[in-house]
């Protein structure tokens, strides 16, 4: 593949106008198409094979009008009760207007609060799931309340449908971009060199998001997916381009022509980028096997931006390198001096030799640190945050607060119990059996009350009971209640009442089932990813212990990141700094996503570092010196890449959405630990202790394993040099006759 990439890189640099034009045209056309289709992200959580999904299916079949329910929450002006005749008449007139809106199948009466007489709410029912009806009904509801609000009423909206103010995101990426610019300026010391990774990443990200917006017109892409895709796409886009630009500058300073340098950079560093990107895409697409369509779609959205980032790195970037030419080091940053990379006297080299001289001390110390960070992970509680964590000022947050004030926190997460008639049971007998079921549910101490008026289908074969917990939807007590109703309360009550079955469903139950399903699949998913990483790295490095160590270190680093997330969001350690004012469950799909993403990113760093170490070992046979040389030649570029990643991911922790906050903190922590504790401490200490055994591979296994040479130049033609340059080691001249000698490339290997 290296020869193909070499030719691709040379072609892009030579035909730079065509390549750039093709990318810009694709960006404009895809963005225009996405906007014209008018798709919107929407949350529609289907969980095949679970009780909540079975309950929803029964409800749709037996009571077709009972689809998605919105809640309209009122607060009367001046402290008047919602039951006052004048207030009641105004609210009834408003709800009559709502009943005429498209898609509305039923509008319930205003139910007054027993705690705050001026608060009340009404259900508005739509036919179909949230994914079927989209966001337009919610936007119509919000717009319909303007007259009522003008007369002093507070009107807010919640429930299962979505509203126009639920867009996730903000200006977080601007912070990450700002830090990335500073890091790139310091790393390269040149405005031109800094702009190349940024330009590549931004064009690639825009193209990826345009593809996602097109998908939103046909698929129920979750609302958080575009934000997560932006976070991951921006981080990997800059990182991938950074590694290639670093290699390109090295080749230029050796005297190669611009076109030759671009081709060889794509064939070597670019090949490693392709490998790392493919592993991320495969791992994330593996989420399809979890069996939750919304989680799979979220993964596909992220995979699209990663795939486009890889494509931009190996096509758009060499075109931009062609435009920069030999002026890539122009517009030097005053006061910034780029030190030579590599050698035996860099800080990284000295540090590596110091760690190698005291391997047990550093191995145990770093392991204890990571172990301490992992400890909170063992108390992790997976779940889903509720509307009480939505941004201040959103209608869903305001309705949540009003309902909690007027009815108690559990009122925001009603549990729908779908009851079907038993064999031969008449509609009258089903109706007569419902009070006993309601009493059995209400007898549980965690149930606040059960709606006194059950709904019965026209056929008389299906009924709906609505139960309200005493705790908030995201609380552990609510999760325990759902499990208790399913396993202890309802089986006996169903047998006594003679009905066929009673299933607990509703949005709260759906999120609990998602958590349970993911918890059951998580060990298998992690195991599959680790096995894949072990086999791939064994083929690359021709070793058994190097990939085994990499797998163990990945587990330690990611486990420590999980622990930090639990400590911040569940234990509330330092959460106030991030706007977290209560204990939150950890988003159920976060561990899987983080593992898939970090597996690919850590593979990237592993390949860049260990390729250099292996190259030195094959040349010298000195294990300790090889590790020192590998760290010395790659530490600067890996550190720059890690700082950019940490900055981009960490900036999203200051947004409003708790899901995005958790991803930001988790990914930033894992990358920070990977680039410092693991790469700079654990790797040199463990490799020093294992010595030559690091590179042991049974001969029979060596014969049958394919050979993946990701950073080598085997099969490539002899390099082309500028006139007057003698080849490798020659000091590169510059087209502008800059009197200062060019600095050595950052991260030269």
Task: Find out whether 211 and 304 touch, Cβ atoms under 8 Å.
Answer: yes
User: For the chain, what percent of residues have pLDDT higher than 70?
Assistant: 92
Secondary structure string (H, E, C) spanning 436-488: HHHHHHHCCCCEEEECCCCEECCCCCEEEEEEEECCCCCCHHHHHHHHHHHHH
Q: Which phi and psi (to 5°) does residue 236 adopt?
A: -70, -30
CB atoms within 10 A of CB 217: 14
* Strand (E) or helix (H) holding 103: none
List C-alpha distances in Å: 650 to 186, 229, 461, 647. 20, 15, 53, 5
How many CB atoms within 10 Å of residue 690?
16
Q: pLDDT, tens digit, for every residue of 500-515?
A: 999 999 888 988 998 8
- Could you read off the pLDDT of 461-496 as tens digits, one per residue? 999 999 989 998 888 899 999 999 999 999 999 998
pLDDT value of position 724: 61
**657-704 pLDDT, tens digit each:** 888 899 999 999 999 999 899 989 999 999 999 999 999 999 999 888
Q: What does the alpha-carbon distance between residue 471 and residue 475 come to, in Å, rounded to a whole number?
A: 6
Percent of the chain beyond pLDDT 90?
Answer: 43
CA neighbor of 37 nearest in space, from 221, 298, 225: 221
pLDDT band at 297 (very low <50, low <70, confident <90, very high): very high
Residue 372 CB contacts under 8 Å (≥ 6 apart), including other chains? none
Cα–Cα distance between 78 and 88 in angstroms, integer?
Answer: 14
- The tokens describing 23, both together, are 């990318």
Segment among 34-48, 105-119, 507-521 with least mean pLDDT: 34-48
Average of pLDDT values for 94-123? 91
Q: How many CA atoms lie within 13 A of 548 on its CB side?
A: 12
Q: Could you tell me which residues come within 8 angstroms of residue 510 by beta carbon, excluding any fewer than 6 positions away?
A: 45, 47, 50, 52, 53, 56
Residue 65's pLDDT band (cuts 50, 70, 90): low
Mean predicted confidence (pLDDT) in 512-529: 88
Alpha helix positions (H), 38-71: 51-62
Beta bridge partners of 74: 120, 155
Following DSSP, what letter does each residue of 317-353 receive, concatenated?
Answer: HHHHHHHHGGGTT-SBPTT--PPPP-SSSSHHHHHHH
Which of 224, 238, 232 is closest to 208 using CA atoms? 232
Concatenated DSSP letters of 268-328 = HHHHHHHHHHHHHHHHHHGGGGGS-HHHHHHHHHHHHHHHHHHHIIIIIHHHHHHHHGGGT
HSE-CB for 651 with a 13 A CA cutoff: 24
Contact 103, 127 (CB under 8 A): yes
pLDDT of residue 725: 56
| Cβ neighbourhood burial of 48 (10 Å; 0-12, 13-18, 19+) | exposed
Token code pair at residue 245: 């630009």
Q: What is the dihedral of CA 157, 162, 163, 166, to 10 degrees?
A: 110
- DSSP 8-class letter at 171: S
Average pLDDT over every residue of 433-452: 91
DSSP string, 606-664: HHHHHHHHHHHHHHH--HHHHHHHHHHHHHHHHHHHHHHHHHHHHHGGGSS-HHHHHHH
The answer to whether 300 and 220 are in contact (CB under 8 A) is: no
- Predicted confidence (pLDDT) at residue 136 exceeds the cutoff of 50: yes
Q: Does pLDDT of 67 surpass 90? A: no
Q: What is the pLDDT, as a whole number, of residue 131? A: 73
pLDDT of residue 686: 93
User: Average pLDDT of the chain?
Assistant: 86
Q: Tell me: pLDDT of 283 over 90.
A: no
Question: What pLDDT sits at residue 742?
Answer: 38
Run of H or E residues at 419? strand 415-420
Q: Which helix (H) or strand (E) holds 522?
A: helix 507-541
**What is the spatial distance between Cα 272 and Cα 269, in angstroms, rounded to a whole number?**
5
What element of type H or E holds 603? helix 590-620
Please give the helix or strand (H or E) that residue 74 lies within, else none.
strand 68-75
Would you say residue 734 has pLDDT above 50? no
- Residue 101 CA to its chain's centroid (Å): 36
Q: What is the pLDDT of residues 23-38, one digit of tens each?
A: 999 999 999 999 999 8
- Cβ neighbors of 57 (< 8 A, separation 6 or more) are none
Which residue, 278, 222, 182, is CA-closest to 663? 222
Instruction: Give dist(CA 172, CA 676) in Å, integer.
Output: 25
Both tokens assigned to 325: 């030419």
Q: Indicate the pairing of strand 154-159 with strand 415-420.
A: unpaired
Question: Looking at residue 744, what is its pLDDT?
Answer: 37
Strand bridging mode 119-126 / 111-112: antiparallel
> Residue 536 corresponds to which tokens in the numbers above?
């791939």
DSSP-based helix, strand, coil % in the chain, nearest 5: 65, 10, 25
d(CA 422, CA 589): 37
pLDDT tier, 317 (very low <50, low <70, confident <90, very high otherwise): very high
What whole-number distance in Å separates Cα of residue 647 and Cα of residue 176?
5
pLDDT class for 745, splitting at 50, 70, 90? very low
Q: Rounded to an integer, what distance in angstroms lies between the CA atom of residue 338 and that of residue 189? A: 6
Query: Which residues lie below 8 Å from residue 575, measured CB to CB, with a gap of 6+?
Result: 568, 569, 581
Q: Which of these ranges, 160-169, 213-222, 345-354, 419-428, has the smallest mean pLDDT?
A: 160-169
Give the pLDDT band (50/70/90) at residue 187: confident
- pLDDT-derived band of residue 42, with 50, 70 and 90 as boundaries? confident
Residues 748 and 612: their CA atoms lie apart, in Å, by: 10
Q: Categorize the per-residue pLDDT at 172 as very low, low, confident or very high, splitting at 50, 70 and 90.
A: low
Q: How far apart are CA 134 and CA 129, in angstroms?
A: 9
Give the start-end residues of each E strand in 92-239: 104-107, 111-112, 119-126, 154-159
At 90 the three-state DSSP class reads helix
Alpha-carbon distance of 347 to 220, in angstroms, equals 51
Out of 229-233, 241-245, 656-660, pick the least confident. 656-660
**Among candidate residues 194, 211, 196, 206, the one with its CA nearest the CA of residue 230:** 206
Length of the chain equals 749
DSSP code string of 354-394 = HHHHSHHHHHHHHHHHHHHHHGGGGG--EE---GGGSPTT-
Closest listed residue to residue 228, CA positions, set 597, 740, 695: 597
Q: What pLDDT, on the 0 to 100 scale, is given for residue 465?
A: 93
575 with 567: CB under 8 angstroms? Answer: no
- The structural domains of the chain, ordered by start, are 2-39+168-385+512-704 (1.20.1640.10), 51-159 (3.30.70), 415-505 (3.30.70)
The tens digit of pLDDT for each residue in 564-600 reads 999 999 998 987 787 777 888 999 889 988 888 888 7
**Measured over all CA atoms, what is the biggest interatomic distance in the chain, rounded to whole angstroms?**
99
pLDDT of residue 202 exceeding 90, the answer is yes
Q: DSSP strand E in 130-177: where?
A: 154-159
- Reported as a single tens digit per residue, the pLDDT across 534-565 is 888 888 888 999 999 988 998 999 999 999 99
Strands of 148-240 (E only): list them: 154-159
What pLDDT digit, counting tens, does each position of 391-435 carry?
778 898 899 999 999 988 888 888 999 999 988 888 899 999 999
Torsion of CA 580, 581, 585, 587, to 10 degrees: -30
Q: For residue 508, which phi and psi values (nearest 5 degrees)?
A: -65, -45
Over the Cα atoms of the chain, what is R_g? Answer: 30
pLDDT at residue 210 is higher than 90? yes
> Residue 75 has what pLDDT?
95
- Specify which of 62-76, 301-315, 438-452, 599-613 reaches the highest per-range mean pLDDT: 301-315
């Amino acid at each position: 593949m290296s020869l193909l990439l070499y030719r691709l890189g040379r072609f892009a640099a030579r035909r730079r106008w065509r390549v750039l034009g093709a990318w810009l045209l694709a960006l404009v056309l895809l963005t225009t198409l996405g906007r014209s289709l008018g798709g919107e992200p929407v949350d529609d959580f289907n969980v095949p094979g679970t009780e909540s999904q079975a309950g929803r299916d029964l409800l749709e079949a037996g009571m077709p009008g009972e689809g998605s329910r919105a809640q309209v929450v009122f607060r009367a002006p001046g402290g008047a009760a919602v039951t006052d005749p004048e207030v009641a008449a105004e609210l009834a007139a408003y709800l009559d207007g709502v009943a005429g809106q498209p898609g509305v199948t039923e509008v319930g009466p205003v139910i007054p609060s027993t705690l705050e007489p001026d608060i009340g709410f009404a259900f508005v029912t739509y036919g179909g799931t949230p994914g079927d009806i989209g966001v337009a009904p919610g936007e119509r509801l919000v717009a319909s309340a303007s007259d009522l609000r003008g007369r002093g009423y507070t009107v807010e909206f919640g429930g299962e449908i979505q509203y126009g103010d639920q867009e996730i995101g903000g200006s977080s990426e601007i912070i990450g971009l700002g830090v990335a610019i500073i890091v790139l300026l310091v790393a390269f010391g040149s405005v031109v060199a800094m702009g190349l990774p940024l330009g590549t990443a931004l064009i690639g990200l825009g193209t990826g998001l345009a593809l996602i917006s097109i998908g939103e017109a046909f698929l129920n892409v979750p609302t958080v997916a575009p934000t997560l895709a932006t976070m991951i796409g921006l981080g990997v886009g800059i990182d991938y381009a950074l590694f290639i630009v670093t290699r390109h500058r090295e080749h230029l300073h050796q005297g190669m022509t611009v076109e030759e340098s671009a081709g060889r950079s794509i064939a070597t560093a670019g090949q490693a980028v392709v490998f790392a990107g493919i592993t991320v895409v495969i791992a994330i697409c593996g989420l399809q096997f979890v069996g939750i369509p919304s989680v799979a779609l979220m993964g596909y959205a992220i995979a699209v931006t990663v795939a486009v980032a890889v494509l931009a790195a190996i096509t758009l970037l060499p075109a931009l390198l062609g435009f920069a030419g030999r002026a890539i080091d122009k517009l030097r940053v005053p006061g910034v001096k780029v030190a030579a990379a590599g050698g035996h006297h860099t800080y990284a080299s000295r540090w590596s030799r110091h760690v190698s001289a005291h391997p047990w001390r550093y191995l145990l110390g770093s392991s204890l640190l990571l172990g301490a960070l992992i400890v909170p992970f063992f108390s992790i509680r997976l779940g889903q945050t509720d509307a009480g964590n939505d941004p201040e000022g959103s209608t869903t947050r305001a309705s949540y607060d009003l309902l909690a004030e007027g009815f108690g926190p559990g009122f925001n997460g009603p549990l729908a119990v779908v009851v079907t008639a038993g064999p031969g049971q008449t509609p009258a007998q089903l109706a007569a059996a419902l009070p006993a079921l309601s009493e059995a549910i209400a007898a549980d101490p965690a149930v606040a009350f059960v709606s006194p008026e059950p709904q019965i289908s026209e056929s008389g074969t299906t009924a709906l009971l609505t139960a309200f917990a005493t705790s908030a939807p995201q609380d552990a007590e609510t999760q325990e209640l759902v499990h208790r109703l399913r396993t202890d309360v309802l089986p006996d009550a169903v047998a006594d009442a003679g009905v066929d079955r009673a299933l607990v469903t509703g949005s709260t139950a759906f999120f609990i089932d998602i958590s349970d399903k993911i918890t059951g699949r998580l060990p298998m998913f992690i195991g599959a990813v680790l096995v894949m990483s072990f086999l791939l790295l064994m083929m690359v490095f021709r070793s058994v212990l190097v990939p085994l160590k990499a797998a163990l270190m990945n587990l330690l680093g990611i486990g420590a990141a999980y622990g930090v997330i639990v400590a911040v969001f569940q234990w509330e350690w330092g959460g106030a700094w991030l706007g977290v004012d209560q204990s939150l469950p950890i988003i159920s799909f976060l561990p899987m996503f983080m593992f898939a993403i970090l597996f690919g990113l850590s593979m990237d760093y592993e390949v860049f570092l260990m390729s250099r170490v292996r190259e030195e070992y094959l040349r010298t046979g000195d294990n300790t010196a090889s590790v020192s040389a590998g760290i010395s030649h790659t530490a600067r570029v890996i550190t720059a890449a890690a700082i950019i990643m940490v900055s981009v991911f960490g900036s999203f922790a200051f947004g409003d959405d708790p899901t995005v906050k958790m991803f930001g903190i988790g990914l930033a922590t894992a990358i920070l630990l990977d680039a410092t504790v693991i790469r700079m401490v654990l790797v040199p200490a463990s490799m020093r202790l294992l010595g030559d055994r690091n590179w042991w591979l049974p001969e029979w296994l060596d014969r049958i394993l394919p050979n993946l040479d990701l950073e080598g130049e085997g099969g490539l033609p002899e390099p082309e040099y500028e006139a007057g340059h003698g080849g490798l080691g020659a000091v590169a001249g510059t087209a502008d006759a800059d009197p200062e000698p060019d600095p050595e490339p950052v991260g030269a290997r």
